[in-house]
Chain A
Amino acid sequence: MNKTVNRRDAGLVLLLGGPVLLCALAIIVPLLLTLMISFWERKMLGMKPGFTLVSYQQFFEGARFDVLLRSFWVALTSTPLMLLIAYPVAYLITFKIKPSQTRAFLFLLSVPFLVNYVIRAFAWADLLGRQGAVNSFLQWTGIADAPVDWLLFSDFAIYLGLVAAYMPFMVYPIWLSLAGIDRRLIEASWMLGEVPLMTFLRVVLPLSLPGVCAAAIFGFVGAFGEVAISQILGGVGYQLMGNAITSALDVLHYPMAAAMSSVVVGCMLLLLLLWLRFFDLRLFLGKMLGR
């Protein structure tokens, strides 16, 4: 880039740096404060500054720890499930259909994603219920004689809800990586006599890993901190981390809510750091950064 464009002055720094700094502070300061509050003591209707590990101790020894383990397990198992759908979709729209159709398809994919996922979860509850469309269909075709009970308020419903909520969003990073692959590499592999499957495993898949990992983090984050889907589709008493945090907040147990939230955010930042460590952001956002 030329020097004239890159030249900076105080006004520019203030005009651009001010808002950016404000946003950065608005994102980071609350997270740090939450970490701080997690070490505070609980008072009857609030909190008191101090340094104690009581909240963490209660968290790790009580029933809330089971919720953490369950959330971790659900996130860990639902993420591959989402990838198993998102990757083929991204692959098909990148390589198997016309570029003009790819754009249209990506657009169609984002439409339901933009409708509030809480509303979509309500809709799934309606579809999966005893008198819902799915059960009606199963009985009409004769696949089932009586309404199937495990469709709603079950693990099945949770996983279905999570996949429906977060899978569409995961297609984008994978598509970004796949679209960035130099097609000549695939042709070279073909010319060197590799069969399509091996070309995929040894060329396409490794090159798409940055997108796959970004997508995996999106899915994991969504499932780990889930509030709405667990409550709507999981049934009475089913909790994931998001529910545990909001219920601690409902009883005004701020240090506990802060401790649980900090653990969740800590896990996410760890994943994010690993991702940034292994993959260059510029590799992934290269197009957008104009390189």
Chain B
Amino acid sequence: MSSLYRLAIWACLAAVMVFLYAPLLPPLWEAFRNPTTGTFTLDNFVAITTDGTLLGALRNSVLLAIIVGIAAPLLALAAALAVRHFRSKRMIITILLLPLFIPGVSMGVSSALFFKLVGISPSLLTMATVQTLWALPFAFLIILTIMSSFDTIFLEAAYTCGSNRWQAFLDVELPQMSQGLQGAAIFSVIISFNETIRTAVVQGGNNTVQTYIWSKYQQVGLSPNMYALMSTIIIVTLLLILALLALGREQKR
């Protein structure tokens, strides 16, 4: 392969990367800039720490991330095991991956109407349900991938040594899948933390950090404070992804 050809390939890939990463910069730029003088400032970040509504929203976001980060991987684990043990594999997979194929608004509206009809008022619970269903397909795919690299011969060995199914699962299979489970958990947390549209439909009077930005935008437009908030979200997300990466490295060792 000629070096010119190689260069062209990398130029194409680099162009795509620039296109994808460019939008991560403007919020940072706007957040650290004084809107009148154009000089460097941290005031916008200080301002968001004194906003009471926002602090409540942040608390909700963290709670939701914890709930979704626990619920989605566990449900996904159960589903992945069900795919292995049950006969209707195709149906389980199709239904659980369905949220990937349905626009977020439709999923949100359907859930909102369901909650309204059953008489469940909007709360953290409704928001957590909607977010868990959205994170589930991703967690499910991650765990399916990890599981496919596990050789069931280890389980046979455990049975031969006299363990029952529960012991074999806990002592043999689960430790081998723990990295995948952690990965699915971090992925779910990131998805929960970055969800707006589905959550906004079932939020009621509650806010998350994301729906707070969205409603501020719709009511009064974006202020430098909002850019500071977005920057914080971007930075936290990148840190979470770094954690995911560190996890992957540990797994390789």
Contact = CB atoms under 8 A, between A and B. Distances in A.
A105 interface: yes
A290 B147 contact: yes
A202 B90 CA distance: 30
A123 B136 contact: no
B9 A258 contact: no
Given A26-B129, A92-B12, A228 B197 contact: yes
Interface string B211-242: 00110011000100000001001100110010
**Main secondary structure on chain A at its contact with chain B?**
helix
A115 B194 contact: yes
Contact of A122 (B148, B195, B222): B222
Contacts of A265: 102-103, 106, 110
B245 interface: yes
A119 B213 contact: yes
Nearest to B83: A289
Contacts of B86: 16-17
A268 B103 CA distance: 9
* Residue from B100, B195, B197, B222 with most neighbouring chain A CB atoms (10 Å): B197
A228 B27 contact: no
Interface residues of B, number: 83
A261 interface: yes
B93 interface: yes
Nearest to A86: B16
Contacts of B110: 30-31, 33-34, 261, 265
A164 B103 contact: no
Nearest to A29: B114
B109 A126 contact: no
A288 B113 contact: no
Contacts of B104: 225, 227, 242
A249 B136 CA distance: 26
Contacts of B34: none
B47 to A, nearest CB: 18
Given A114-B241, A265-B106, A120 B23 contact: yes
A218 interface: yes
Interface string A249-270: 1000010011001001100110
B105 A246 contact: yes
Contacts of B100: 218, 221
Contact of B195 (A8, A12, A116): A116
A127 interface: yes
Interface of B: 9, 12-13, 16-17, 19-27, 30, 74-75, 78-79, 81-86, 89-90, 92-96, 98-107, 109-114, 116-117, 129, 133, 136, 141, 144-145, 147-148, 152, 155-156, 159, 165, 190-191, 194-197, 201, 210, 213-214, 217-218, 222, 230, 233-234, 237-238, 241, 245
